[in-house]
Amino acid sequence: MRDRAELERHLEAALSPCAMRASDSRGRPHADDEPPYRGVFQRDRDRIVHCAAFRRLEYKTQVFISVLEGDHHRNRLTHTMEVTQIARTIARALALNEDLVEALALAHDLGHGPFGHSGEDALNEVMQGHGGFNHNLQGLRVVDKLERRYADFPGLNLSYETREGFTKNLNPQGRAQYGFTQGESPPLEVQLVGHADEIAYDTHDIEDGLVSGVLHEDGLRDLALWRETEAAVLDEQPVLEAEQRLRWRSVVRRLIRTLVGDLMAETEKRLSDSNVRSLAEVRTSPRELVGFSLGLEFKKRDLETFLHSYFYNHAGVRKHTALWQERLKDIYAAYLKDPSRLPPDHVKRVDKEGETIERVICDYVAGMTDRFAETQWERYCKA
Ligand code: MG
């Protein structure tokens, strides 16, 4: 059996000089014995997969409210697995730290509440004046405080670098407030997972949109990215002309390949253009080093604008998301009116942890799955 030091040496020998190494990790918030045969980031990944917030992703909305609209679409767990798969592929090809990338990708949506972005908007609205709500910062709360599995510390006690995945929207002061060094860029692994997330949801939302009948191929053909990708697919396999669903899936698959390929080529170009040759230089580089080429970035934005107009804001999709956006606010209000409706452990956090009752309720509601939120609405809010 190889011990941790030997395993890390073996893995690190194959990494790019710009990659994050487990042996260079800035460690965990609380003292913790490292296990004999797992690296720091491997252990982060295991802790994430075993936590309750991770299991609940299965019953949280990605775009469709799954319980109402069939079982074929993505939920937040399947989305998370797709992001992880894309991110690991890119990490391995660029010789970046695949263990860290896996942990980051598996954790990236842990802070999402029920009902997707409408749920986030609802919680942010009710929390105005009490610190607001943002799914990235909520992810940090989940892994730092809300998960309770260990006697010695709250949360999962993840490494600095895995926790850094939640800092995307933080300004320099915000970084300092959460214990991250100000004025530094995140490692390439962190930058990469953000883009893998975009690749996954852009392409898979198109597929879910087409299969559900909300989106139409004719509309997509107005987009250069779709048109060019479809032409390339049909050029190779003209038989797909007559196979609608297989055609959609083939175009989506090739689109992922195009985006992944462009991201890898552009990232290598930026590293070489900026003369970045070490992790320290990544940290001090003011420029985002992982990204798409300008040409593809524009086409990708057109696609995202299209998805916003015709998918996320489609009347049929909005009907349900808007309904649950309102109902989530009702649920929050029902707990605020009578906090004894919360499980006793949660109420105690006000005295034990110095949290406001508003924040405790927000944490509790954000932790709900779609279906649990529905039962709570039926119980406390249904007239
Ligand atoms: Mg995501």
| Domain map (residue ranges) of the chain | 4-19+38-337+371-380
Q: Which two tokens stand for residue 51?
A: 């936590």
Residue 23 clears pLDDT 60, i.e. is over it: yes
The pLDDT of residue 64: 63
Q: What is the pLDDT of residue 68?
A: 43
| Mean pLDDT of the region 5-33 | 93
Contact status, residue 149 vs residue 24, Cβ threshold 8 Å: no
CA of 348 to the centre of ligand 1 (A): 32
Is 135's pLDDT higher than 90? yes
Predicted local distance difference test score (pLDDT) of residue 282 = 97
CA pair distance 346, 196, nearest whole angstrom: 35
pLDDT computed for residue 337 by the predictor: 97
Q: Is the pLDDT assigned to residue 159 strictly greater than 70? A: yes
Residue 230 has pLDDT above 70, yes or no: yes
CA distance 122 to 136: 15
Cα(4) to centroid(ligand 1), Å: 31
Weakest mean pLDDT among 32-46, 251-265, 327-341: 32-46
Q: What is the rounded average pLDDT of the residues 94-121?
A: 96
Q: How far is the CA of 260 from the centre of ligand 1 (A)?
A: 16
**Model confidence band, residue 213 (pLDDT cutoffs 50, 70, 90):** confident
Contact 22, 99 (CB under 8 A): yes
CATH class of the domain whose range is 4-19+38-337+371-380? mainly alpha
pLDDT band for position 341 (cuts 50, 70, 90): very high
Sign of CA pseudo-dihedral 255, 257, 262, 263: positive
H/E stretch holding 269: helix 244-273
pLDDT category at 95 given cuts 50, 70, 90 is very high
Question: What's the CA-to-centroid distance between 334 and ligand 1, angstroms?
Answer: 29
Calculate the average pLDDT of the chain.
Answer: 93
Q: How far is CA 151 from the centre of its chain?
A: 28
- Percent residues over pLDDT 90 in the chain: 81
Residue 67: what pLDDT? 42
User: Residues 154, 128: contact at Cβ < 8 Å?
Assistant: no
Report the separation in Å between the CA atom of 107 and the middle of ligand 1, taken as the mean of its atom positions: 9
Half-sphere exposure of residue 345: CA atoms within 13 angstroms, side-chain side: 5
Asked whether the predicted pLDDT for residue 336 surpasses 80, the reply is yes
| Neighbour tally for 267: CB within 10 Å | 25
pLDDT, average across residues 348-358: 95
How many Å apart are CA 119 and CA 70, to the nearest integer? 20
CA dihedral 202, 247, 261, 166 (to 10 degrees): 20
Which residue do the tokens 């909305």 mark? 61
CA 87–ligand 1 middle distance (angstroms): 12
Ligand 1 centroid vs 120 CA: distance in angstroms?
A: 13
Residue 151 Cα, ligand 1 centroid: separation in angstroms? 31
The pLDDT, as a whole number, for residue 174 is 85
Cα of 6 to ligand 1 centre, how many Å?
A: 34
pTM above threshold 0.75: yes
Q: Please, what sign has the CA dihedral across residues 165, 100, 196, 271?
A: positive
Q: Evaluate whether 111 touches 137 at the Cβ level (below 8 Å).
A: yes
CA–centroid distance, residue 1 to ligand 1 (Å): 36
Distance from residue 108's CA to the centre of ligand 1 (Å)? 6
| Range 353-363 average pLDDT | 97
DSSP class per residue in 91-159: HHHTT--HHHHHHHHHHTTTT--TTHHHHHHHHHHHTTTTT---HHHHHHHIIIII----SSSSS----
Instruction: Kindly give the distance from the C-alpha atom of residue 271 to the centroid of ligand 1, in angstroms, as a whole number.
Output: 26
* N-terminal to C-terminal alpha carbon distance within the chain: 62
Ligand 1 centroid to residue 166 C-alpha, Å: 12
Averaged pLDDT for residues 71-87: 90
**Which among 58, 57, 54 is positioned nearest to 45, based on CA atoms?**
54
What integer pLDDT is reported at residue 5 of this predicted model? 87
Instruction: Say yes or no to pLDDT of 264 above 90.
Output: yes
Q: Is the pLDDT of residue 66 over 70?
A: no
Cβ atoms within 10 Å, residue 231: 12
Burial string for 41-66 (b: 16+ CB within 10 Å, else e) reads bbbbbebbeebebbebbebbbbbbbb
Give mean pLDDT, residues 65-84: 77
pLDDT at 177: 87
Tokens describing residue 113: 């509440």
Q: For residue 319, count other CB atoms closer than 10 A to its CB.
A: 11
pLDDT exceeds 60 at position 65: no
pLDDT band, very low/low/confident/very high, at 253 (cuts 50, 70, 90): very high
Task: Compute φ and ψ for 61, nearest 5 degrees.
Answer: -65, 140
The model's confidence at residue 288, banded by pLDDT at 50, 70 and 90, is very high
pLDDT for residue 70 = 61
In this prediction, residue 212 carries a pLDDT of: 84
